[in-house]
Chains A and B, each alone.
Chain A
């Protein structure tokens, strides 16, 4: 049973222009998406830059104003609500940012950074708070000496861990991770990914993993949605997306990912070419005349693909 539903979420940015600076058009950054979150599952949101995946994450947590649609959290509509400090929603949804450095206040000590959600949401005595901070630092594998240091004294991987410690401080149910490892080196990235998996199992957390890296998403997520121009083109579990991709955009994305195996690279190049040709010739089967992605149609229990209603039978 899902604890949170997102229905037909839309975020439009107005384009102003003309003599009176009126709204002449809208940028449809997020244009009607549906998501459901179950406890302990990881969800992946994949797309290229500008597809609206980060906007989706931000609008869920309330950093971006939602134009229409709603977010139901445990039966309560929390869309565009004024979020007070004692709101359960604010406590239970936390975020990890891409650039760990700029997401940490440079003038605060690590203990104050991690304590912020604790002070906001949990009423703990100073002694308990200290204990909790030590506990959190231990979870992210840092020593207690880190408490009195400042963010600039840490490396990129360590900063990202501080961001993670802050995100899990208030015992959240869902963590929105916006490209949490894309700024990190490969071995540090692997360390952080392993660690996110550990805490997910330990605390039964749900994740919304926003990334452009299909390898990372496959490693982390149970359910994956591919996004293009603010809409989902395909949505399904790991197998559906990686072994049985239906939408041309998914195929194109998958074929473009470099494989870490040099043996049959010529073959892959040819596949890439073929998909590209397919993409150009059969464009109209996947997008309507305005270039907008069709609505999702269910093709199996877990697998949904965007296509026009009349194409449904034929594909």
Chain B
């Protein structure tokens, strides 16, 4: 991998929210790189900080209540330090965003065509004529039939899948280098989900953009991603190429997640699952292995004092050392200390 391939580099990012004059970090020391022509999936359960990571990148947070520290390097600039008007130049043109709920992301009072045009007006010097052509081209690109008619319609006249296609059209309107997709298919039916994911992949192949795909659905990850980052309690706990992650999951949390899925092609009676849930921000102990509380049958010595990411095979990083000794509560095994 050379440096030219790196689109976005995040170094030790901390995003904290203020609760009663104290800042609690929802994203707690995340470092990652996004390469050109790659889908990087960020997986985790609610409260793990994956959406906060997305909003931190393009600065869509409440500046009065949020503290962002660390580096978000894009084109040699640190996005975390940019002022709002400078950020506006980046948003849309360099980094596009796809939101979870297409209905609330669209303006109900504006026609579809106008909404797609908005980004073009702001970022380009196209004439009205050129913009119109581009809008129709975009609608066609995202697989919407009758672009002429749809461009004149309002969001409520479209189905959920069509609305998400419009959102995607807006996100790619200025040919951004990076697309951040925050749960793009969670609100959609499975058949529509499959169509949207295929569409995202196709668009990526055409444009070579890097996509950050934020999701909780490991099925979606397995179908689309190239590389995967698993987050737990604000930290990356495992990072690996997609095949490697599903073939050799290491961290207890990743293994637990994979075992929690009721699968189509297995009929084991019980789902292997680790009790408990992601701890809340305020109560989170910020020392030691954050997963230790949920696997009390693993002796304390198995954990590192200050867990860091270790490379276990090329490109495969795992936090803490507890994975070497881990076994599910109901089974024997794991390496003894």
How far in angstroms is the closest Cβ of chain A from B50? Answer: 12
How far is A219 from B193 in the complex, measured between Cα atoms in Å? 22
Of B189, B222, B257, the residue contacting A187 (CB under 8 A) is B257
The reply on B190 being an interface residue by CB < 8 A is yes
In the complex, per-residue mask of B234-276: 1 if CB is within 8 Å of any chain A CB, else 0: 0000000011001000000000111111111101011101110
A261: chain B residues at CB < 8 Å are: 222, 246
Q: Are A185 and B45 in contact (CB under 8 A)?
A: yes
In the complex, per-residue mask of A134-145: 1 if CB is within 8 Å of any chain B CB, else 0: 000000000000
A213: chain B residues at CB < 8 Å are: 262
How far is A185 from B242 in the complex, measured between Cα atoms in Å? 21
Known contacts A258-B217, A259-B219: A215-B262 contact under CB 8 Å: yes
B278: chain A residues at CB < 8 Å are: 185
The reply on A265 being an interface residue by CB < 8 A is yes
The reply on B216 being an interface residue by CB < 8 A is yes
Known contacts A212-B190, A215-B264: A258-B256 contact under CB 8 Å: no
Q: Are A259 and B216 in contact (CB under 8 A)?
A: no
Identify which of B46, B194, B217, B278 gathers the most chain A CB atoms within 10 Å of its CB.
B194
How far is A257 from B191 in the complex, measured between Cα atoms in Å? 7
Give the segment of A10-18, A87-95, A189-197 that binds chain B.
Answer: A189-197
Q: Are B189 and A212 in contact (CB under 8 A)?
A: yes
Known contacts A212-B190, A259-B223, A262-B242: A188-B258 contact under CB 8 Å: no
Q: Are A186 and B260 in contact (CB under 8 A)?
A: yes
How far is A187 from B274 in the complex, measured between Cα atoms in Å? 7
A214: chain B residues at CB < 8 Å are: 190, 264
Q: Are A256 and B194 in contact (CB under 8 A)?
A: yes
Q: Are B277 and A155 in contact (CB under 8 A)?
A: yes
A108: chain B residues at CB < 8 Å are: none
How far in angstroms is the closest Cβ of chain A from B322? Answer: 17
How far is A247 from B223 in the complex, measured between Cα atoms in Å? 24
The reply on B311 being an interface residue by CB < 8 A is no
How far is A172 from B161 in the complex, measured between Cα atoms in Å? 39
**Chain A residue with Cβ nearest B271:** A190
B258: chain A residues at CB < 8 Å are: 260
Known contacts A187-B45, A194-B271: A259-B264 contact under CB 8 Å: yes
A193: chain B residues at CB < 8 Å are: 262, 271
How far in angstroms is the closest Cβ of chain B from A250? Answer: 12
How far is A82 from B275 in the complex, measured between Cα atoms in Å? 43
**Chain A residue with Cβ nearest B273:** A190
A269: chain B residues at CB < 8 Å are: 198
Of B191, B216, B257, B265, the residue contacting A252 (CB under 8 A) is B191
B269: chain A residues at CB < 8 Å are: 197
Q: How many residues of B contact A (CB 8 A)?
A: 41
Q: How many residues of A contact B (CB 8 A)?
A: 40
How far in angstroms is the closest Cβ of chain B from A288? Answer: 21
A212: chain B residues at CB < 8 Å are: 189-190
Known contacts A191-B273, A253-B191, A257-B219: A262-B243 contact under CB 8 Å: yes
Q: Name B289-328 residues within 8 Å CB distance of A.
A: none
Q: Are B261 and A48 in contact (CB under 8 A)?
A: no
A188: chain B residues at CB < 8 Å are: 45, 277
The reply on B144 being an interface residue by CB < 8 A is no
A interface, by DSSP: helix, strand, loop or mixed? Answer: helix
B259: chain A residues at CB < 8 Å are: 190
Q: Name A205-233 residues within 8 Å CB distance of B.
A: 212-216, 218-220
Q: Are A272 and B189 in contact (CB under 8 A)?
A: no
B220: chain A residues at CB < 8 Å are: 258
How far is A216 from B269 in the complex, measured between Cα atoms in Å? 12
In the complex, per-residue mask of A96-125: 1 if CB is within 8 Å of any chain B CB, else 0: 000000000000000000000000000000
A260: chain B residues at CB < 8 Å are: 218-219, 222, 246, 258, 261, 263
The reply on A287 being an interface residue by CB < 8 A is no
Known contacts A49-B189, A218-B264, A257-B190: A262-B273 contact under CB 8 Å: no
A155: chain B residues at CB < 8 Å are: 277
A191: chain B residues at CB < 8 Å are: 273, 275
The reply on A86 being an interface residue by CB < 8 A is no
Of B197, B225, B257, B267, the residue contacting A186 (CB under 8 A) is B257
**Chain B residue with Cβ nearest A265:** B223
How far in angstroms is the closest Cβ of chain A from B227? Answer: 11
**Chain A residue with Cβ nearest B245:** A262
How far is A254 from B189 in the complex, measured between Cα atoms in Å? 12
Known contacts A258-B222, A259-B223: A190-B246 contact under CB 8 Å: no
B267: chain A residues at CB < 8 Å are: 218-219, 238
The reply on A310 being an interface residue by CB < 8 A is no
The reply on A300 being an interface residue by CB < 8 A is no
Q: Are B277 and A257 in contact (CB under 8 A)?
A: no
How far is A157 from B275 in the complex, measured between Cα atoms in Å? 11
**Chain B residue with Cβ nearest A257:** B190
The reply on A263 being an interface residue by CB < 8 A is yes
Q: Are B222 and A259 in contact (CB under 8 A)?
A: yes
**Chain B residue with Cβ nearest A214:** B264
Interface residues in chain B, defined as those with a beta carbon under 8 Å from any beta carbon in chain A: 45-46, 189-191, 193-194, 197-198, 216-225, 242-243, 246, 256-265, 267, 269-271, 273-275, 277-278
Can you name 5 A-B residue pairings with CB atoms under 8 Å? A186-B218, A187-B257, A190-B271, A260-B246, A265-B223
Ordered nearest first, which 9 A-B pairs have the shortest CB separation?
Answer: A258-B219, A219-B262, A190-B260, A185-B45, A256-B194, A190-B273, A48-B189, A190-B271, A258-B223
Interface residues in chain A, defined as those with a beta carbon under 8 Å from any beta carbon in chain B: 48-49, 155, 157, 185-191, 193-194, 197, 212-216, 218-220, 238, 242, 252-263, 265, 268-269, 272
**Apart from the given pairs A194-B270, A260-B219, 8 other A-B contacts in the complex at a CB distance below 8 Å:** A48-B189, A187-B277, A189-B260, A197-B270, A215-B264, A258-B219, A258-B223, A263-B246
